Amino acid sequence: MGKESWVKAALVWAAIIILFVLSFKFLYKPHEDVQKTYPQFQSYVEKAAGDPQSILSVSIRSDNLRGDEITAKLKDNTSVITYAPADDGVRAQLRKDLEGKKIPINYEKPDEGSMWINFLTMWLPLIIIVVFMLLFLRNMQGAGGKAMSFGKSRAKLQSDSANKVTFKDVAGIEEVKQECSEIVAFLKDHKKFQDIGARIPKGVLMMGAPGTGKTLLARAIAGEAGVPFFTISGSDFVEMFVGVGASRVRDLFENAKKNSPCIIFIDEIDAVGRHRGAGVGGGHDEREQTLNQLLVEMDGFEANDAVIVIAATNRPDVLDPALLRPGRFDRRVMVGLPDVRGRKEILGVHMKKIRHTEDINVERIALGTPGFSGADLENLCNEAALMAARNGMKRVTEKDFEAAKDKILMGPERRSAVLPKETIKVTAYHEAGHALVSHFLKSRENVHKITVIPRGQALGVTAYLPKEDVYGYSKEDLLTKIAFAMGGRAAEEIKFSQFTTGASNDIQQATELARRMVCQFGMSRLGPINFGQKSENPFLGRDWGESRNYSETLAHEIDMEVSKIINTQYELAKQVLIDHMDVFERVSNILLEVETLDSEEFLAVVDTEATSEQIKEMQAKKISSGNSEGDQGGTKAEQASTINSLNTTPTPA
């Protein structure tokens, strides 16, 4: 418990104890004490004239706060307590009356303790209420906050000693680093640019897929320039209170001007920079007020020289056009996925952090992971290290990297799942159908691994990885993808003369791809026309749906074209398997026996007619050597579309 928590607890307990004591003092009175008002007490004194012994004595104690406290002892052993006003005339008259009745009077000195108790009784409740209100307001601002500081910026100023990052720590995006070097040069010597009349870009928008290193690159720019670096997330501007976001933007830029030259980095700017007029609050939407203030601060009446704003987003399509115009974010940097050389450099950076054997072929791992982002490669290294530690190894081997890649691509193995033999058999023929159709149609993607061991939510998996980095597909490539997606269903029909629900995901992917060929890519007899217009909402960041910009007759033609493409490629997949029936049977039977085939083993079965015993020998040698051959990889989108799996238990015959 921290010091502040102890203070709060002590205040609460002190307040409880004081209230308890005061309550006890004023609520509990001895039985013989009777409270009377001063006029009632005067009537007692007047009655004492007829009965001189009715009042035995009177004690008077002065109290400037409440008047004179008078205690009269009666003959029946009871006491009457009253308070006379603190007035000299009243005191003189009371003394005269008591002396006339010959009643003994005792004068007592004021009780300091009683005075303090009286004071606390009057002011303590108010003090406690004020203290609790201050604590409540302080807690609303969070730890260390101050009351009424809602409009203060939450940006953090990164110090030079706190995890300084330079361009040496950023790998795989050399062109982007060269483009950002101009910003570093300006921050180091901005007077050189200003003397010649040049204007440095006020804002740099970094766009790219998640995990490509946008945030790391911004930190490297600040580290290279050696200037203050303010970091904040786009969501930190927006609060439930109206006007807070705009106030935080003003405060952020005021702090930045005091520390100029400096960099302001806004991560995930799409949280606050979306199209205006798309929200639910109209022109009074809090997000729009925040965006308006950001637009004014970046390029308004006041100049922000030597303050550069760097923002990162993976949704540039939803940003407001006013934010992207020259003078604000007038430079856009596309941070793409790394190529094979970039992946090798990124792996080298992350592999320095783990203990590994010296014989790891980094280039082979880079070749086997096309489409992986920097974050994916960092995760690959971490998964490999976790696997090595879990297996009791002291160093990471290439075998661990291959196992980690399989886990990322296909999901974790579920060897504990007990499946019926008939289900495993259907799965083996289904996956063999996928692999053989892809192989014999000369696909641009190699078979990476085939397995009948359940992985993730699938009962079996066939994974494909492109032979090289793919930047575009031809019509023949897409038709081939549809064909080997339907290879599993074709295999079930040929071998078992029935269909199972395992091909549902394959059919869904094939249908979606065929429809895109017709409606978006113009790869059908309908010509190069785009059919359908997406209804986008930048506030939600997703498409509402698709509105038709074509007639019902044309919709029927589109459906017929999609059906024709799928059925044609399905018949092609069936014909390929029938033409190579002996290979189909051999691969399926060996797969049933050894459960998993990698690319080398698959080619050995298809091309050299290797037996199951030979395949087992190959697998034993790989295990003994501690290395597994690395194949070639594929992008995340391609992985999603090329990993075909039997997701459900097949329907009984």
DSSP code string of 494-524: HHHSS--GGGHHHHHHHHHHHHHHHHTS--S
Cβ contacts of 520 within 8 Å, gap of 6 or more? 530, 531
Is 573 marked as binding a ligand? no
Residue listed under structure tokens 């064909």:
483
d(CA 278, CA 295): 17
Is 209 marked as binding a ligand? yes
402 in active site: no
Is 185 marked as binding a ligand? no
DSSP code string of 373-435: -HHHHHHHHHHHHHHHHHTT-SSB-HHHHHHHHHHHHH--B-TT----HHHHHHHHHHHHHHH
Is 214 marked as binding a ligand? yes
Is 210 marked as binding a ligand? yes
Between the two ends of the chain, the Cα-to-Cα distance in Å is 66
d(CA 206, CA 495): 53
Residue listed under structure tokens 């699938």:
458
Is 203 marked as binding a ligand? no
- Pick the catalytic residue from 288, 398, 431, 561: 431
Cβ pair 201, 308 in contact under 8 A: yes
d(CA 71, CA 57): 8
Strand ranges, E, within 301-376? 307-313, 331-334
Is 211 marked as binding a ligand? yes
Query: What is the rounded radius of gyration, in angstroms, for the C-alpha atoms of the chain?
Result: 42
d(CA 278, CA 110): 75
Structure tokens at 92: 């003189």
Is 506 marked as binding a ligand? yes
d(CA 429, CA 487): 10
Q: Name the packing angle between helices 487-496 and 552-579 (round to 10°).
A: 60
List, as residue ranges, the binding site for ATP: 208-215
List, as residue ranges, the binding site for Zn(2+): 430, 434, 506
Return the active site residues: 431
List, as residue ranges, the binding site: 208-215, 430, 434, 506
